[in-house]
Amino acid sequence: MLTPLHLRDLRVEPALHPRQQPHLSATSGLVRVGAWLYVVSDDEHHLGIFDADGHPANPVHLHRVVAGDLPRDRGQRKKRKPDLEALLALPASADYPHGVLLALGSGSRDNRQRGWRIGLDSLGLPLGAAEATDLTRLYQSLGSTFAELNIEGAFVSGGRLLLLQRGNRGVARNACIEYPLAEMQDWLVGRRRVPPDPLRVHPLELGDVSGVPLGITDGAALPGGGWLFSAVAEDTADSVSDGRCAGSAIGWVGDDGRLRRLELLTGSPKVEGVALVNGSRLLMVTDADDPTLASQLLAVDLG
């Protein structure tokens, strides 16, 4: 088993939070760009930004992605949120000389089939307003493969863009979907009329914890073409409802798409975002599915 180290709670200035909370309570995705760490708050319309090496007491800054605010009622907020679950950094291009962040909706409902591009400046900080991208054609093309779409993770590895499909107790099917990166970038900015077809789709059998299937929640590239991922055993029968977290794990996948190793995490934190730092330190963010609890930044040294 792997034992995570608690680095900080994701605190914010209450006056700057849409509901005056002193923290972010539902974070997904985790990306490091230069000196900065980014998370996406799937219960808000914002990204969270903080200094990767800053003091743990320093507040997380909020950067708006979607206009307007979600309802205060928890049920209505869940129904209307864009469900931004995946966050990745795309490399520099003619359109974005210093790179761009891409936040993706999960696709689990019609209103969750959009993404937003956030251009970056030379310091790795947001440059201007976020630009919306309609992901409907991309997600509809996956409908024949996945009866219940739930995109929870995304990352770039070499010349590929990888999307991670999360299974649940009702449909326990996890998978990695690979796309050609250059063609995907062209489609996202409108230079290509239709999204590219997947290069490969790799099913992943992850097993279960106490009878609850593990579902993949995020991923990060490893040197040499492989990648690692986070997974949680959430006791829910669909891609929308929350449930008890029976366990969590980190897994390793080879460049052939095959699962090589799986390690459970002590304490069963509900990890929904990961980033690999210096090749061996894995940073993780959590979502406790409770607005009164702060999301946490954790770390584990992989050796």
Q: List the chain domain ranges.
A: 5-301
Measured distance CA(92)–CA(232) in Å, rounded: 32
Q: Extract the tokens encoding 69.
A: 């605010």
Measured distance CA(270)–CA(294) in Å, rounded: 12
Measured distance CA(283)–CA(297) in Å, rounded: 7
The overall average pLDDT reported for the chain is 92
Task: Say if CB 196 and CB 183 are below 8 A apart.
Answer: yes
Q: Which residue has the tokens 């590895």?
A: 157
Measured distance CA(114)–CA(201) in Å, rounded: 22
Count of other CB atoms within 10 angstroms of residue 73? 10
Half-sphere exposure of 131 (CA within 13 A, CB side): 13
pLDDT given at position 237: 62
* pLDDT over 90, % of the chain: 77
Tens of pLDDT, residues 32-90: 999 999 999 888 899 999 999 999 999 999 999 998 887 788 788 878 888 899 999 99
* Strands of 271-277's sheet in order across: 5-9, 296-301, 281-286, 271-277
pLDDT given at position 252: 97
Task: Say if CB 227 and CB 218 are below 8 A apart.
Answer: no
Measured distance CA(218)–CA(208) in Å, rounded: 17
Per-residue burial over 104-127, b = 16 or more CB atoms within 10 Å of its CB, e = otherwise: bbbbbbeebbbbbbbbbeeebbbe
pLDDT given at position 72: 80
pLDDT given at position 52: 93
pLDDT (mean) for 123-129: 94
Which distant-in-sequence residues (6+ apart) come within 8 Å of 111 by Cβ?
Answer: 80, 82, 105
- Report, in angstroms and rounded to the nearest whole number, the Rg of the chain calculated over CA atoms: 18
Q: Say if residue 263's pLDDT is above 90.
A: yes
Tens of pLDDT, residues 133-152: 999 999 999 988 898 899 99
pLDDT given at position 279: 85
pLDDT given at position 83: 86
pLDDT given at position 241: 62
Residues 196-199: contacts with CB within 8 Å, 24+ apart? Answer: 197/141, 199/160
Q: Is CATH 2.120.10 the classification given to domain 5-301?
A: yes
Closest to 163 in 3D by CA, of 87, 271, 263? 87
Task: Say if CB 73 and CB 94 are below 8 A apart.
Answer: no
pLDDT band with cut points at 50, 70 and 90 for residue 270: very high
Tens of pLDDT, residues 222-257: 988 899 999 999 887 665 666 788 999 999 999 999
